[in-house]
Amino acid sequence: MHASAADRLLHHYRQHARELPWRSRPGELPTDPYRVWLSEVMLQQTTVAAVAPRYARFLERWPTVEALAAAPEEAVFAEWAGLGYYARARNLHACAREVARLGGFPTTEAELRKLPGVGAYTAAAVAAIAFGADCVAVDTNVERVIARLFALSGKADVPARAAAMLPVGSGGGDFTQALMDLGATICRPKAPDCPSCPLRDGCQAYALGTPEAFPARPIKRQRPHRFGIAWWCRQGDEVRLVRRPARGLLGGMAALPGPEWNEARPAVQPLAAVRHIFTHFSLDLLVVEAAADDGWWQPLDRLDEAGLPTLYRRAVDAALAAERQPRLAA
């Protein structure tokens, strides 16, 4: 089954591969490892639609890994603003500097794992797609395809099952991307298009008639809620901004000044409030008028240059709108 399934999958990929700016066409020589690595970091927990224009901007500004390595860290953070999961920006810059120091990207999965911020998935993806290594990068799409193909409730056996399907000596680039495309376009989390799937005849979940049951979904835990204060200090057409501590959530990003967040709602009269959902908790950020000495004055018409993360950009927009509206009750 494995060989025939792989053949059917690769044939389908050659006919239906998505055209993506960081990807070579099926069967073509691997693309630039810098482009593969950059796209894979950007795509972690972010959609292709959101990444594509930002990827183009990054390449226009820093066309090589050496150019990115030489960039100021603040510039990288600013360019990353809006993509979320901001630790990726710090790791991206640190990795670029290490690759520049080494004189290029390592070519093996094991050596790639030694780079800053490069985990098992990214190492396998770069090794397979950029260097043609015989390995399979397992993302959520690949997990879902393999789990359904073999009716696996859990995910622990997925990497081994995927690796066993890979034709030896063929290189994992096209195979990995074929699985990714299948999961993104056909073997979707909900309403999978099983009639169009090249692996349908050997799929155990399809045979059971319950493809959506695989893999089993984890029990959702209640997300804790926190409160924060952002000081709104405006002087004419400028607003006071600070840079958050290098470590921690939104580390190194520009922000409105304010104390640490906690679980108790502060007794303040907010000018505005925004709610933001992080991975592990939700937050009500209360924007309060106050004086602030730290940081710098940022012109409002050049706010995009500061690289505010989504939370603080929404807070600024809410404060500006609230200045023209009745004040919120505490």
Tens of pLDDT, residue by residue over 91-143, are 999 999 999 999 999 999 999 999 999 999 999 999 999 999 999 999 999 99
Confidence of residue 324 (pLDDT cuts 50, 70, 90): confident
Question: What is the token pair recorded at 241?
Answer: 């901004």
**What number does CATH give the domain 2-213?**
1.10.340.30
The CA distance from 122 to 16, in Å, is 24
Spell out the residues 6+ positions from residue 156 whose beta carbon is closer than 8 angstroms to its own.
Answer: none
Contact 200, 147 (CB under 8 A): no
> What's the average model confidence in pLDDT over 306-325?
93
Q: Residue 99's pLDDT is what?
A: 98
- The helix/strand/coil state of 4 is helix
Inform me whether the pLDDT recorded for 329 exceeds 70.
no
Spell out the residues 6+ positions from residue 288 whose beta carbon is closer than 8 angstroms to its own.
Answer: 229, 230, 231, 232, 268, 269, 270, 271
- The helix/strand/coil state of 22 is coil
Question: What is the token pair recorded at 308?
Answer: 């505010």
Q: What letter represents residue 238's amino acid?
A: E
> What's the average model confidence in pLDDT over 1-5?
66
pLDDT tens sequence across 198-252 = 999 999 999 999 999 999 988 888 899 999 999 999 999 999 999 998 888 898 8
Question: What is the token pair recorded at 97?
Answer: 């500097």
Q: Residue 268's pLDDT is what?
A: 93
Percent of all residues in the chain with a pLDDT value above 90, rounded to a whole number: 80
Q: Residue 3's pLDDT is what?
A: 57
DSSP-assigned letters across all residues of 259-290? ---BSSPP----SEEEEEE-SS-EEEEEEEE-
Confidence of residue 45 (pLDDT cuts 50, 70, 90): confident
Across the chain, mean pLDDT equals 93
Q: Residue 1's pLDDT is what?
A: 44
pTM: 0.83
The residues carrying an active-site annotation are 40
Contact 6, 166 (CB under 8 A): yes
Confidence of residue 327 (pLDDT cuts 50, 70, 90): low
Residues of the chain with CATH 3.90.79.10: 225-322
> What's the average model confidence in pLDDT over 325-330?
56
CATH 3.90.79.10 fits 225-322, yes or no: yes
pLDDT tens sequence across 186-199 = 999 999 999 999 99
Inform me whether the pLDDT recorded for 41 exceeds 70.
yes
Inform me whether the pLDDT recorded for 162 exceeds 90.
yes
Inform me whether the pLDDT recorded for 90 exceeds 50.
yes
